[in-house]
Amino acid sequence: MKIHKEGYKIISTTLVICVTTIVVINLIFPAQTYFHSAMYLSIAIVIGVVVRFFRIPNRSLQSDSNIILCPADGTIVAIEEVMEQEFFNEMRLQVSVFMSPNNVHVNLYPVSGKIIYTNYSPGSFLVAWHPKSSAENERNTVVIQKDANNSVMVRQIAGALARRIVCYAKSGERITQGCELGFIKFGSRVDLLLPLSSKVLVTLEQKVKGGQTAIARFL
């Protein structure tokens, strides 16, 4: 397991605050009590939670040009046909993955191809499983053209806790399935907008893993 680079600053800041707290408390109250033990335990838990949030587990990524891979760890919360009006202006098949604070928060490219569109939109911070979060929350949109007939939209959506979406995609570059697209900090959602002809391979409430679970197949 590795720690994601987006976590270095937050983890370092957390460690400094925690160590400073311990030093100050011990200077003021040097005699060790149950309070000190509870403080040490609480601080250890806080550090563990923060470090765990930025973890990158060691995984063997699946790769298949006919498969749309899951871009994130989480739970499938929506499978529906929607009118996509930001780029395609047509009906698309939407598959949404809710990422809880306990999930790995790295986002991956679901297909290989060329990035033909990127756009950041400021917005609200509704809970990520809310149906309106796709259109109203802070979000970052990326469209990947796999080939002349198939393009996939990936939409990173901030949740009630998330306050920063990190996206490494650049319009015009060619990317590889399973490579890192970005990161969303502290609870979020990722939507996939697929061609209507795609065959969905997941079900509602299914637990999925980024880079390993096949979301759908191109037909």
The residues carrying an active-site annotation are 188
Which residues, in sequence order, are CB contacts of 203 under 8 Å at separation 6+? 76, 79
Element (H, E) at 107: strand 106-108
Determine contact, residues 66/217, Cβ cutoff 8 Å. Answer: yes
Residue 144 identity: I
Ramachandran area for residue 120 (φ above 0: left; ψ -120 to 50: alpha; else beta): beta
Could you tell me the sign of the dihedral formed by the alpha carbons of 148, 214, 174, 105, in that order? positive
